[in-house]
């Protein structure tokens, strides 16, 4: 085995031991010189959620990453993982429903790394269960604020900084040369949606409503900011096995039922969403904006609208991510 292969195998083994999952580890460098801000970048312990996976993968590909989370300790755990693999990252505690916190996170990014190229809007909550008949205005408003308004607030403060970045051959000399002749984008925003926002059909009214809003907000933002060289895309995960799902407790029966909802009859995890985010964030997706990328093992291709009750967690159907 070559030295490079031995090193890759060792890194993969260490990652698998730490997280319980095997992270994609092939060497990449396309984000060298770029800076990413990831919200919801933390997770409990060594768990791998969508945000933590995105932060780790972006850092592994050369980006400096600001890991933002409501719980500072969770964000610091992600920073620790990144630094142990030779990456650069800092943690910041923010409430994404607070505009001042959103502005502060962006400002910290600029003060620390001097630029902002990538924003990953990953925060989302399931919100209240029930139909329109069960609606309570306060919890409904809070759910929309957390799932939708927060992404608009982060974009509001991130986009002006992205507009400072140069295009094409005028790009900062610190940046690795683009895979193509000149970088054709100033900034990249990836919003976290859900297949629930595409299909509905859950026991909740709030969650598919909010995630549906994220999908169309992404399209609107993409149209608004494309002329300025800012790409905006959306990742819609399906039934991934992440701390958001298994944290409250999940039986083997429920886990198997969720797995069987996919056409591939397999289980995805945070790394799958993270890899999709990494792709949309960088040069390989330079000609992609306004796209809604499903990461669901074919769930949205299925003609079945059944929602197996065996897949419920704590008496309520699980959230889609």
Q: Looking at the domain assignment, is residue 319 inside a domain?
A: no
Q: Looking at the domain assignment, is residue 127 inside a domain?
A: yes
Domain carrying residue 160 = 33-311
Distance CA 186, CA 108 (A): 19
Q: What is the CATH number of the domain that holds 291?
A: 3.40.50.720
Q: Looking at the domain assignment, is residue 59 inside a domain?
A: yes
Winning range, highest mean pLDDT, from 127-131, 157-161, 293-297: 157-161
Run of H or E including 232: strand 230-237
Q: Looking at the domain assignment, is residue 237 inside a domain?
A: yes
**Angle, helix 206-225 to helix 150-162, in steps of 10 degrees:** 20
Q: Looking at the domain assignment, is residue 4 inside a domain?
A: no
Q: How far is CA 152 from CA 11, 73, 136, 146, 175, in A?
A: 37, 25, 24, 10, 28
Predicted confidence band at 299 (pLDDT cuts at 50, 70, 90)? Answer: confident
Residue 179 has pLDDT above 60, yes or no: no
Q: Looking at the domain assignment, is residue 265 inside a domain?
A: yes
Closest CA relative to residue 240, chosen from 264, 269, 210, 207: 269
Unique residue bearing structure tokens 């329109």 = 132
pLDDT tens digits along 94-135: 999 999 999 999 999 999 999 999 999 999 998 888 899 999
Among the listed residues 113, 207, 241, 246, the single catalytic one is 207
Q: Looking at the domain assignment, is residue 201 inside a domain?
A: yes
Where does the chain have alpha helices with state H?
Answer: 3-19, 50-60, 72-84, 99-113, 137-144, 150-162, 196-199, 206-225, 243-246, 252-260, 270-281
Whether the predicted model's global pTM rises above the 0.95 cut: no
Least confident residue range of 56-70, 139-153, 293-307: 293-307
The count of structural domains within the chain is: 1
Q: Which position has the higher pLDDT, 174 or 70?
A: 70
Is 207 a catalytic site residue?
yes
Q: Looking at the domain assignment, is residue 207 inside a domain?
A: yes
């Amino acid at each position: 085995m070559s030295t490079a292969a031995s090193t890759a195998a060792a890194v993969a083994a260490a990652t698998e031991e730490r997280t319980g999952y095997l992270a994609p580890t092939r060497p990449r460098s396309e984000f060298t010189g770029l800076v990413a801000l990831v919200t919801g970048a933390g997770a409990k312990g060594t768990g791998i959620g969508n945000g933590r996976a995105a932060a780790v993968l972006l850092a592994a590909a050369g980006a400096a990453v600001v890991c933002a989370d409501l719980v500072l300790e969770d964000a610091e755990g992600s920073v620790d993982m990144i630094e142990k693999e030779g990456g650069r990252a800092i943690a910041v505690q923010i409430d994404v429903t607070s505009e001042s916190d959103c502005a502060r996170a962006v400002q910290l990014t600029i003060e620390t790394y001097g630029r902002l190229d990538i924003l990953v809007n990953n925060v989302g909550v399931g919100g209240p269960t029930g139909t329109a008949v069960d609606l309570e205005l306060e919890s409904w408003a809070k759910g929309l604020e957390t799932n939708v308004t927060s992404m608009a607030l982060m974009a509001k403060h991130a986009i002006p900084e992205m507009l400072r970045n140069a295009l094409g051959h005028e790009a900062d000399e610190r940046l690795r040369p683009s895979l193509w002749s000149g970088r054709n984008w100033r900034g990249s925003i990836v919003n976290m949606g859900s297949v629930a926002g595409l299909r509905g059909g859950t026991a909740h009214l709030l969650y598919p409503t909010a995630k549906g809003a994220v999908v169309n907000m992404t399209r609107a933002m993409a149209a608004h900011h494309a002329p300025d060289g800012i790409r905006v895309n959306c990742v819609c995960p399906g039934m991934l096995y992440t701390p958001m799902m298994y944290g409250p407790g999940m039986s083997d029966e429920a886990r198997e039922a969720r797995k069987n909802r996919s056409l591939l009859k397999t289980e995805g995890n945070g790394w799958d969403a993270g890899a999709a985010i990494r792709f949309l964030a960088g040069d390989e997706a330079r000609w992609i904006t306004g796209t809604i990328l499903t990461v669901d093992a074919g769930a949205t291709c299925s003609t079945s609208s059944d929602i197996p009750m065996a897949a419920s967690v704590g008496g309520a159907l699980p959230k889609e991510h």
